[in-house]
Amino acid sequence: MSLGDDTLLCNYPKCRAKLSGFAWVTSCSHVFCDQHGSGEFSRSPAICPACSTALSGKLDIVRTELSPCEEYKAMVLAGLRPDIVLDISSRALAFWTYQVHQERMYQEYSLSRADTQLKQMEKVLNQQNQSREIELTAMRGEIASLKKVMEEYKRKYSEVSERLMERNRQYQKLQGLYDSLRLRNMVVGATPQRSPQFLSAAPLGDSRFFSCLEADGAKTFFQFSSPARDKNQSFINKH
């Protein structure tokens, strides 16, 4: 039962449900719901599931109604002497006080266990936070180093770009010179050249030779250059 509440809880370790209707009460001051009481106390010998006490007496286990009718309340203690009624009432109140005390102890135990788990979780969380901080610091240092490397690469890239632009300008200049020289050579090669006037400047013998060529133009060069034909022609001219 919770503190300040007037409802008992099942003392079965895995149940702890609020009791209603019927309940099983033991002489060792434990109470169980009807479901677990019927299952546990149907075996012989009966053992208390809460404290493992042997319940062998006839009245060690009682199934009672938690909300009895008015007729039952009027007759259950009727005819008993006042001291017996007070004794029964004191024992019932002692049972209730024990249940409240047990519930308080259970709640304190649960709170202590939860507090211990919370401290352990906080410790693990702090360790994880410290580890993350170390990793974050290392990553920040790595980022700073990479930034420096990137700046160095940017500087080198700028220098290389400037050199490339200068080379391109030089190449364009050389290409212009090459094109102009090629155009000049093409113009010079296309100008017509005069053939040399070697006929007028030739010696006398050569002039006679070319005059013969002019006199008989239909004859081939090989006909005039034959030695036997030249001898015969000179012999005929002499006679």
Q: Is the per-residue pLDDT at 194 higher than 70? A: no
pLDDT tens per residue, range 119-174 = 999 999 999 999 999 999 999 999 999 999 999 999 999 999 999 999 999 999 99
pTM, whole model, 2 decimals? 0.51
Q: Is the pLDDT of residue 4 over 70?
A: no
For residue 95, which of 153, 11, 170 has the smallest C-alpha distance? Answer: 11
Position 57 scores a pLDDT of: 86
Please give the domain boundaries of the chain with CATH numbers for all domains: 9-67 (3.30.40.10)
Residue 201: strand pairing partners: none
Residue 232 is predicted with a pLDDT of 47
Phi/psi at 64 (5° precision): -125, 155
3-state helix, strand, coil in the chain (%, to 5): 60, 10, 30
Percent of the chain with pLDDT over 70: 77
**H helix or E strand, kind and range, residue 54:** strand 54-55
Given this model, what pLDDT does residue 192 score?
59
pLDDT score, position 201: 45
Confidence of residue 210 (pLDDT cuts 50, 70, 90): very low
* φ and ψ of 55, to 5 deg: -115, 85
Residue with token string 């240092």: 141
Surface-to-core class of residue 150, CB atoms within 10 Å of its CB (0-12 exposed, 13-18 middle, 19+ buried)? exposed
Cα separation, 25 vs 115, in Å, equals 33
Q: Is the peptide bond before 45 cis (omega within 30 degrees of 0)?
A: yes
60-112 pLDDT, tens per residue? 999 999 999 999 989 989 999 999 999 999 999 999 999 999 989 989 999 99
pLDDT category of residue 187 using cuts at 50, 70 and 90: confident
Within 8 A by CB and 6+ apart from 107, the residues are: 2, 3
C-beta separation of 24 from 15 below 8 A: no
Using one digit for the tens of pLDDT, what is the confidence trace for 107-123?
Answer: 999 999 999 999 999 99
pLDDT of residue 1: 52
The predicted structure's pLDDT at residue 235: 46
3-class SS at 26? strand
Quickly state the pLDDT bin for 28 (edges 50, 70, 90).
very high
Distance CA 21, CA 66 (A): 6
Distance CA 120, CA 67 (A): 45
Residues 127, 125: Cα–Cα separation, whole Å: 5
Give the residue, 50 or 203, on which the prediction is more confident. Answer: 50
When the pLDDT of each residue in the chain is averaged and rounded to a whole number, the result is 82
Distance CA 169, CA 73 (A): 117
